[in-house]
Amino acid sequence: MADRVLVLSGLDPCGGAGIAADIETLNQFAVTALPIVTTLTAQNTRSVQATQAIDAQFIAKQIRHLQVDIDFSVVKIGLLSSGAQIKTFANLLKDKIIVLDPIIRASSNSDKGDFLNSELLLILKRELLPITTIITPNLAELQALSGEKNEHLALTSLPCEWVLLTTTDSSDKKIQHRLYRYSQLVQRFNYQKLAGNYHGSGCTLSSAISALLALGVDMQSTCKRALDYTYQTLLNAKEIGKMQLHPSREKPL
């Protein structure tokens, strides 16, 4: 058991998503974040205007320098911006528990469009997914990663052990998130859909999962507790800008 998580994520200047959300969430579970920025962004609660990838070789230097000093077993990966980054992480993190939040498109009305194009999605699927412990896509991300509309076919095409499929993006009033292991349904989690748009809910969820796995909690309990925590942050969300609401990341109930 280790109370620390390596975080590889983008920098969101409004603090709702990205590495700020990851650090906030991990801290609420008394887990220390080891944060490395993968991508700089120009964004607010309305849109993303531009992104700039951090050099993969420099990130590799950061990871290696951390490893000679600090032990960690869990890695949370968020926004990725280049094939070089994906290949670097796949090479350096093979022996870690990897929690991947596959951020393909901004949740706001983005001028930037997709973060990951078709070429990068193929590299992600080939290089990183085979060593990923759990991935947390919504339905649109699952379809984009797999190229399949059928949920079962999409799941069987993903070469990772666990998939927590979130369905907020495709639900009306009732939400049913589903946990799969090797494409077999393990557990369902049911919630009422909340009104409003939120900035950083996926980051919160994947970081909560990372924290609980770092603390030695089993996967099914981890996903239940992480989903409950994320729902709590959305129930108490606050308005910091003119569009999407900011999850209120306080200590878990």
- Residue that is written with structure tokens 């906030």 in the block: 24
Q: Does domain 4-155+197-235 have CATH number 3.40.1190.20?
A: yes
Predicted TM-score (pTM) of this structure: 0.94
Contact between residue 206 and residue 101 where contact means Cβ atoms under 8 Å apart: yes
SS3 for 214-240 is HCCCCHHHHHHHHHHHHHHHHHCCECC
Give the per-residue pLDDT at 108.
Answer: 52
State the distance between the two ends of the chain, measured CA to CA, in whole angstroms.
22
Domain ranges within the chain, ordered by starting residue? 4-155+197-235
Give the per-residue pLDDT at 218.
Answer: 98
List the chain pLDDT tens, one digit each, 253 residues. Answer: 579 999 999 999 999 999 999 999 999 999 999 999 999 999 988 888 999 999 999 999 999 999 999 999 999 999 999 999 999 999 999 999 999 999 987 665 554 457 888 899 999 999 999 999 999 999 989 999 999 999 999 999 999 999 999 987 666 788 999 999 999 999 999 999 888 888 899 999 999 999 999 999 999 999 999 999 999 999 999 888 888 898 999 988 7
Neighbouring-strand partners of residue 43: 48
β-pairing verdict for 162-165 and 134-135: parallel
Q: How far apart are CA 20 and CA 140, in angstroms?
A: 24
Give the per-residue pLDDT at 26.
Answer: 98
Give the per-residue pLDDT at 89.
Answer: 97
